[in-house]
Structure 1
């Protein structure tokens, strides 16, 4: 089964190292005659993504500039929300949590129009700032859910003892709960990184021109109809687009599973 699921990645890698003549004359599963990095160089620096022929490097940087603040903000705010909903319950907190939970089932398409109206009212023109706000708000329901389910497993006596010792609202959060939330924090970081980096719909709707993210550039590169179809360049660009999320999963997969199970059972 592993070989079956790795077969597309194998085809992408081998094709990206072949020349166009070798692709036309050879077999899809055949190994390349040698390691030819020309397609990777073209994809990075000179491939056409529509009318722009400067490769994907600028769009890769756009995705990074969007990704880092979005992931950090949504994770920190989700931790804060989970802390409030689990340790500082207020009137209507259950109804508020239920409403927030419903947001996890809303598809991207449902929130596009409300998001556009809010961005228009706020007057945010910069595409990167728009995408940061959109991804932060959309990811809050997921990160809040993860942290809330984890914090309800923390013994209430720990917070009560901190209150008796004089710790306030923010000190309990930053000095006690946040340091023990590393497994759930890793889940949120991996989840949000994957969701935000791979997003296409928000990127194509709320950004334009050279400010678009990597996924939009990849779509434009593949659908560019001028010139010869360069399958090796397209495969190289697709792998470049997948590298960040692949790296995150390889490095943090054990933390992801550990963090998901950390809040699965109360006791």
Structure 2
């Protein structure tokens, strides 16, 4: 039944003439170049470390490397545009040079960071704010003609977890995407990926309600990205720390894959690949 539900989903993306196949679920590896990411073991502080971590991710099977230079954890400190670019561009250029076939995603809500990173060789933009934090982001993505991941979030990373409220969280997130998708399509953006934003402007209950109804997002016939990796929606339920949350991450990744997720954004690539292999076997015994 689940297989039939997702038959019409868009499975090919185009980035500057490079086709990206999502007919099977894929892994997006997190490369944090921030000093204050919530999961300390994921932090990278220089180009050499970034290249070593990227090589490991590629070896383990990641399709995308998602580079972020602005921590979006709740309450994170603001980072200037100049500092974000100073962190991003050297690492993008180094990865492009060392691993030219690797698909690079840029985790940014700023249009200039998006544009400069794509010009440096990146392939897609991953925007936690879906254009809400930069009024020219949609216009910029339309001009760049690269795939665009847009996430649901209210407010900013600094205030998003201050009593988020919804009458019906899933319906409100669906309506949010419906409006954003319509705007993007009018601008000529063809390759859109949606991310429900687990852990962003949502309580633990909100997160699990959205996960329970994740198959509802297939109505858009677009790839769905999920990011649970070592987040508090796991640690607060299991009463453990992010360093102990790999098993919980794998469980939620598996649930999301069975409900139609196309991309797993994770810190731990090997285990995510195993989730994909086993859930694909469940779907196609």
TM-score, length-scaled by structure 1: 0.26
Which structure ranks higher in relative contact order (CA pairs < 8 Å, sequence separation ≥ 6)? 1
More helix by share: 1
- Structure showing greater Rg: 1
